Amino acid sequence: MAADRSYGWIDLVKLAAAVLVIANHTGPLTSWSEEADFVLTNIISRLAVPFFFMASGFFLFRAAKEGIRNKPSLRKFMVRIGGLYALGILLYLPVNVYAGHFGPDSTAGAILKEIAFGGTFYHLWYLPALLLGTAIVYMLRLRLQDRTVLVVTGALYAIGMFGDSYYGVAARVDALAVFYAQLFDAFGQTRNGLFFAPFFIALGAFIGNAASNTASRRSARWYGGMFLISFSLLLAEGTALHRLGLQLHEVMYVALVPAAYALFRLLTVRSVRGHRRVRYMSTAVYLLHPLAIVLVRGAAKLLGIQTVVIGNSFAFFAAVTIASLLPAAMLAIISVPRSSPMPGNPRAWVQIDLSNLDHNARVLKQALPDGTSLMAVVKANAYGHGSVGIAKRLQRGGIRQFAVAEVGEAVELRKAGVKGDILILGYTPTERLNELIWYNITQTVIHADDAQRLQAHGGKFKVHVKIDTGMNRLGEQFDRQEELLSMYRHSRLQVTGTYSHLAEADSLDPYDIAFSRKQIDRFRHAVDLILAAGFNPGRLHLQSSYGILNFPDLEMDLARPGIALYGLLSTEGGATRTKIDLRPVLSLKASVSRVHLVKSGEFVGYGRSFAAAADTMVATVAIGYADGIPRELSGRGGSVLIHGRRAPIIGRICMDQLTVDVSGIPDVRQGDIATIIGEDGAERITAGEIAMRTGTITNEIVCSMGTRAAKRFVSEPERRPAAKTLAGAGIHAPQ
């Protein structure tokens, strides 16, 4: 996985953790003090395995993120770990057989149980635990929010803990003693993929999402302090439990959680280059060290130096460590190339920051009265953001109402597994009406005759009735009483909502506000009429983004934000009554494909529209109007960001490419990243800026984005590039 390029500290600590596991299995301090050895092997080194689990959760779910790329990377991961486990089983088969492990009396059931939970050789348990734990966390994350996943897996961990370090407490309660007896019967012990692994994998995944979210990140000193405190608590906890004789196994502690969390976060504060070989080595050490134990014992016996090597616990530990590290290092050198190849970068891509999406949904909801829920408008491929990824993310955040423009968009969401209500805001042709029923999609009734068309079609439809209160686009006229009521009378139409649309909610001009108020009143009157006639109008809704921002106190059941959900206003800098901290979700990036000097007097591009007045360094960027950049941006002062600086667009924007002047930016090379919308260093280009330059609204700019550019979901802004090249920036290509 290339995603872990910038977390070198994690790689190094993983190797240290692998050595701690060796300590665990060799007891380096036993020659001096049993007490000291207990502290080292049964308390301190207990950090090692949670750390491994967290690293897996961190990298796997960070790289996978949401949507498109989640499944393939999970499959890849499971296959890799499964393969490793199979290798481990084979590797230790001779030792197993030698120890009489798979004797004639072991049943197939017992062996299967061992393979699934315990591992066929004592330290191999980690691999099946990783497989099962990852599957559990993956499944939970599909359905629940990060924090809820932590609560669920944390509860499993608590159950596990009372069958482990705190067993002495549980054993005193009869019912619990019975419960755990059964648990042990089923699983052997609780240190497995159900009670132990999921929590730390989920914690790693949680950190992966939060790590570079600047708002939630704290300083290295803060995490260091938290680690020291929780580490001291861990020592105290482990020692106390040991003294009191409460432990059954000494694996699962309370303080292990904050200690492992703080350590892991500490290591993610600063991004340094990853060490692929070191990472490989820690896995190899983990897999090989029991073999090394056997070999060291055998060799010592053969050479007659048992007293020196085996007799001295530290010498034994050292010998095993060397005997594990050396072959692991050799294997790493042979099989892992020193530096990873330059990560391939797409030609052009859209980057989606899902944590900003979460944020926008949250603040919009907060701006509204408690009883008002959001109906997320995800039409036009979620304004160019990718409707499936966006809808699924919002669904995880608790949103149950979605709106699209047409039936094709609704069906796409359903096929991708989006639940809840999906409302079509526009017209559906008669030949596609059946799909509304098949996919349980709600249709807007556009006017009274439209209701008749649906009723005549046969089949039962869920509908929202639209009332025209002055926009004069869709909806039955607010003052045509008979027609209005007729829409609620049809036997085959189940009316679950009634709504209207404001024509000028974005204006704070008193004259325009008066018009919006008039629309609101008309809507209210129409609803009163419907109620008075004894009909149920269902859920009421009126506000789109600007309706929320400028008329936040309306007591409606739903509000329909579109553009604001994506962190944008239609016109950048426009005034709104409520100020909401909206964060842009979309960035647009592309690769530099060529950099060359254009001599004074030469021209650039179609129509020779740019003439070089002096020698000019020109970079060609692999993105054009077919990727959604408006062609009119040519010659309107537009620019892109390269190395955190503005490079003016020169010449005419082509279908797949554009050219920029990089004379003022040293060292631009092929493969460098150009940011068309988004941040790079301290500089930033917004969709609003491009809209302003091309005389349109932000909505139109983002809607045309990414029809061709590969979509890519991330939950956080890209880390600030450490160096100017791609490799240094820790950027990775979508797989």
Could you list the active site residues? 379, 606
User: Residues in the site for ligand PLP, rule: CB under 6 A?
Assistant: 377, 379, 425, 501, 544-545, 560-564
CA-closest candidate to residue 238, choices 168, 166, 190, 172: 166
Q: Helix %, strand %, coil % for the chain, to 5?
A: 50, 15, 35
250 backbone dihedrals φ, ψ, rounded to 5°: -115, 75
Residue 726's identity, in one-letter code, is L
Tell me if 218 sits within 8 A of 207, measured CB to CB. Answer: no
CA-closest candidate to residue 289, choices 518, 539, 122, 401: 122
Report the nearest approach of ligand PLP to the CB of residue 401 (Å). 12
Closer residue to ligand PLP (CB): 187 or 402 = 402
Pure H helices in 368-509: 379-384, 387-396, 407-415, 433-438, 448-457, 481-486
Report the nearest approach of ligand PLP to the CB of residue 547 (Å). 8
As a whole number of angstroms, the distance between CA 98 and CA 346 comes to 53
As a whole number of angstroms, the distance between CA 151 and CA 163 comes to 19
As a whole number of angstroms, the distance between CA 134 and CA 76 comes to 12
Radius of gyration of the chain (CA): 31
Report the nearest approach of ligand PLP to the CB of residue 559 (Å). 9
Closer residue to ligand PLP (CB): 561 or 688 = 561
**Residue whose Cβ sits closest to ligand PLP:** 562
Angstrom CA distances, 315 to 17, 529, 557, 587, 660, stand at 19, 90, 72, 56, 64
CA-closest candidate to residue 54, choices 335, 256, 222, 242: 256
Closer residue to ligand PLP (CB): 661 or 700 = 700
Report the nearest approach of ligand PLP to the CB of residue 531 (Å). 22
Residue 633's identity, in one-letter code, is L
Closer residue to ligand PLP (CB): 96 or 696 = 696
Report the nearest approach of ligand PLP to the CB of residue 143 (Å). 28
As a whole number of angstroms, the distance between CA 723 and CA 662 comes to 17
Closer residue to ligand PLP (CB): 472 or 491 = 472
Tell me if 56 sits within 8 A of 1, measured CB to CB. Answer: no
Residue 139, annotated as binding a ligand: no
Tell me if 691 sits within 8 A of 701, measured CB to CB. Answer: yes
Report the nearest approach of ligand PLP to the CB of residue 451 (Å). 18
Label the pairing between strands 373-377 and 401-404: parallel
Closer residue to ligand PLP (CB): 349 or 546 = 546
DSSP, res 493: E
Which residues share a beta bridge with 506? none
Please name the helix (run of DSSP H) or strand (run of DSSP E) that holds residue 251, with its range, or none: none
Closer residue to ligand PLP (CB): 466 or 589 = 466
Give one word for 698, left, alpha or beta, with left for phi > 0 and alpha for psi -120 to 50. Answer: alpha
Report the nearest approach of ligand PLP to the CB of residue 240 (Å). 58
As a whole number of angstroms, the distance between CA 565 and CA 401 comes to 14
Report the nearest approach of ligand PLP to the CB of residue 437 (Å). 23
Show the tokens assigned to 453. Answer: 């068309």
Closer residue to ligand PLP (CB): 176 or 405 = 405
Angstrom CA distances, 637 to 123, 612, 647, 687, stand at 63, 16, 10, 14
Closer residue to ligand PLP (CB): 189 or 699 = 699
Closer residue to ligand PLP (CB): 251 or 423 = 423
Report the nearest approach of ligand PLP to the CB of residue 544 (Å). 3
Residues 6+ away with beta carbon under 8 Å from 77: 56, 60, 134
Tell me if 349 sits within 8 A of 589, measured CB to CB. Answer: yes
CA-closest candidate to residue 378, choices 424, 415, 419: 424
Report the nearest approach of ligand PLP to the CB of residue 442 (Å). 13
| 100 three-state secondary structure | coil
CA-closest candidate to residue 706, choices 619, 593, 590: 590
As a whole number of angstroms, the distance between CA 158 and CA 155 comes to 5
CA-closest candidate to residue 463, choices 448, 446, 443, 447: 443
CA-closest candidate to residue 155, choices 169, 136, 171: 136
Residue 80's identity, in one-letter code, is R
Report the nearest approach of ligand PLP to the CB of residue 402 (Å). 12
Residue 655, annotated as binding a ligand: yes
Closer residue to ligand PLP (CB): 323 or 564 = 564
CA angle, 134 then 139 then 141, to 5°: 95
| Residues placed in the known binding site | 473, 655
| Residues placed in the known binding site for substrate | 473, 655
